[in-house]
Amino acid sequence: MNTQTSCRVPIPNFPDPIIDAPLAATPARQVAVFAGGCFWCVEAVFAELQGVESVRSGYAGGTAETANYKAVCSGQTDHAEAIEIIYDASKITYGQLLKIHFSIAHDPTTLNRQGNDVGRQYRSSIFYANEEQRRIAESYIRQMNEAGIFDAAIVTTLEPMEKFFMAEAYHQNYAALNPGQPYIAYVARPKVEKLRSYFKDRLKK
């Protein structure tokens, strides 16, 4: 299984977004929703970040009628496996979350695929909650493409966040609760180890 992104720029030199929201002056709870392959693996990365209060695995992009694991795994719904991040905007910015998503959590250059996981439900997507999030994400994608950060063009879609549907209970915090599961060991753990290696200053104490 592929656990690496196609980034050709070393992680330590991965750029910060030129356009970003400033840190809030006081604690401010905000929400970000990202999709990048299996939600177990993406959730495991963001759960370790300072400023992140909670991460939930779920489904975004489709309707309530198809927001269940069996339907989404069929690849016939509009849903993507996604994560909902609740974060304190006085400790981490939306752009910094995007940086982790693109540099660590998934490969944004593979269309409807992450490693051996194939299907539209595994697409790379940013589900923006407002115009500011859309503007920051669009600018960052353009910035990375123009700088040739990856070996191929970024295929991440920008989709309006209409409704996030929480996944079944057994999916929540799956990587932490099942460290010996082969998929977690081969796909999720290397991403978490990369985060711990390159973003030590961003981790929860």
The pLDDT tens digits for 32-66 are: 999 999 999 999 999 999 999 999 999 999 999 99
Res 93 pLDDT > 60: yes
Query: 7, 38, 41, 73: which is the annotated catalytic residue?
Result: 38
Model pTM score: 0.96
Average model confidence (pLDDT) across the chain: 96
CATH topology of domain 27-196: Peptide Methionine Sulfoxide Reductase; Chain A (3.30.1060)
Res 3 pLDDT > 50: no
In tens, the pLDDT along 143-166 reads 999 999 999 999 999 999 999 999
pLDDT of residue 74: 96
Active site residue 38: yes
Domain boundaries, the chain: 27-196
pLDDT of residue 1: 39
- pLDDT mean over 71-96: 98
Contact 34, 127 (CB under 8 A): yes
Instruction: Supply 76's token pair.
Output: 């016939």
